[in-house]
Structure formats: structure tokens, C-alpha cells
Amino acid sequence: MSLPQPSPTATEQGEFSSEEKTLLLQVAHESILSALEDREISLEPPTAHLAEPRGAFTSLYLDGELRGCVGYVLPVSSVHRAVIDTARAAAFEDTRFSPVTIEEARQLQIELSILSPPQPVPPEQVEVGRHGLLISMAGHRGLLLPQVPIERHWDRVTFLEQTCRKAGLPPNAWQHGALIEAFTAEVFGEKTTTVETP
């Protein structure tokens, strides 16, 4: 069964309501604190929407600096469960950092990236700045998130070629039968930004 593509209007406005975003951020905090305090939390999604399977990334910040980031690209569990699992993994399993302490956990700022399910897409419909890419062929698979081509000033063809390279494939594999799938990411969180007053 194919999953529906979000309409451009829905994508621009965001799929998740402000209430859902607040709830998911609270769940991320609670998942880290509950692990440190050795207590259980509910793994049951509170709504049908948050029970939908999605990929997700959780990024942790402390005093404006990255403190951990872990994610699942493919939709292996509900949004709710993916946030719980990736928040804990970012806090305790990101090997670039020491595990988060309870004192740090109370000061963390969290950013979540919720991914749409990957959908097959013709190469000419890949949109730089909107799509992340998943390219697979002959047991090889490579993925790049939507922000990567923007940060590196790549055009669409370079984005396709570099995703093939990430998969360990020739850069032109996207023209020779590789499966191209695209996904979008809705990013929200608590990172502080400086607002200039007039």
C-alpha cells in the first residue's frame, strides 16, 4: 500500500500541531529523566497521529552546544516511541559524548526532526532544500538529510551523485536503475535564538 504524499500546503504549515510539538518535546525530556531516575514511563502513543510510524532524530543542546544526536531514518516505530528511543540514545549512547548527567538533563534544550516516510521519486522531482534522499541498489543504501545539500551548496544532480557515493555506488547509479526515495523533515525545538528588538 502506498502512503499519501503530503500536499505542499500541509508541508509548508507543518504536519504537527503546536500541541503535538510541545507534547513530543516533553516526552523527549521525560524519557531522559525517567532513565536517570530508574522509573517507567508510558510507551503508548497518546493519539492516533502520534502512533503513525516515522523516522526521527533527537538533538540535545547544553548551553548552546551540541550534547548528543541520534536518529532513525526509517519508520520502524511510532513517532511517540521513536522520540523516546532517540532521546535516550542521544543522551546516553552517542559515543562522541559522555552520558548526560541528571544535572545536565534538567538544563537540556531539545530539537526534534520528524521524517516523512520515504517515497519513490523521479530524479527530476527531487527538490534541493526540501527533500532528503535515500538511494539503494544491489544491497547498497545511502542517505543524506535535507539540510546537507543546502550546507554544501549542491545542485540537484550533485545531491543525487553524492547520495550514490554515500551508498558506495558509482555517482551515476541514479541514472542506471538505482531506487531513488525522497523524504521531508519537520524540525522544531527549544534552541534559543537571539531576537533583535527594533
Asked if 34 and 59 sit in the same domain, the reply is: yes
Predicted structure pTM score: 0.75
Instruction: Report the run of H or E that residue 71 belongs to, with start and end.
Output: strand 65-72
CA 125 to CA 42: how far, in whole Å? 40
Q: Hey, what's the torsion of the CAs at 29, 33, 35, 39, to 10 degrees?
A: -110
Which of 8-12, 108-112, 152-156 has the lowest average pLDDT? 8-12
The reply to whether 76 and 25 lie within a common domain is yes
Same domain, 57 and 130: no
Q: Give the chain's domain count.
A: 2
Q: Residue 50 and residue 94: Cα distance in Å, rounded? A: 25
Looking at the domain assignment, is residue 7 inside a domain?
A: no
Mean pLDDT of the chain, nearest integer: 89
Q: Are residues 98 and 36 in the same domain?
A: yes
Per residue in 111-125, pLDDT (tens digit) is: 999 999 899 999 999
Mark whether 68 and 156 lie in a shared domain.
no
Do 67 and 135 belong together in one domain?
Answer: no
Q: Tens digits of per-residue pLDDT, 44-101?
A: 999 999 999 999 999 999 998 999 999 988 889 999 999 999 999 999 999 999 999 9
**Calpha distance 69→13 (Å, rounded):** 25
Which segments of 73-184 are extended strands (E)? 109-115, 119-120, 132-137, 140-144, 179-183
Does 12 reside within a domain? no
pLDDT digit string, tens, across residues 13-49: 578 999 999 999 999 999 999 999 999 999 999 999 9
For residues 117 and 183, the answer to whether their CB atoms sit within 8 Å is yes
Q: What is the mean pLDDT of residues 170-175?
A: 98
- Residue 147 and residue 166 share a domain: yes
